[in-house]
Amino acid sequence: MSRYGYIACETCRIYMFVGKYVQPDDGGAPYFHIGDPDEPPNSARTLETKALWKLHTEHIGHPVRTLVEGTNDLSHIWEFVEIGGDEPQDISFEDYVKDWAG
């Protein structure tokens, strides 16, 4: 069963999908991955990486949490604004990082 991860600021009610939680069979460090296994790693996704840095920078001192399905209760975040989401209240990656110097 796939488990997906999210980074959320519960104070500001905003979150970002970070992909499937992957625990390598060889005991290596776990990581998140968006897309098929043959697609580039998340670190190669420039726009998403920039958005993640901005999320962390804007929410210094807030309870920013890494949430994973099956480990955390996620029911409260579905009403938050999603960075990169497609619901009316969400914000695109492009708009989120627009004019951000980081």
Between residues 101 and 72, the one the model is more confident about: 101
In a domain, 13, yes or no: yes
Express each pLDDT in 49-97 by its tens digit: 999 999 999 999 999 999 999 888 898 999 999 999 999 999 999 999 9
8 A C-beta contact, residue 56 and residue 102: no
Asked if the model's pLDDT at residue 15 lies above 80, the reply is: yes
Determine the structural domain holding residue 25 and report its residue range.
4-97
In a domain, 102, yes or no: no
Residue 81 pLDDT:
98
Find the mean pLDDT for residues 8-34. Answer: 96
Domain count, the chain: 1
Please list, in sequence order, all residues whose beta carbon lies within 8 angstroms of the beta carbon of residue 45, skipping any fewer than 6 positions away: 34
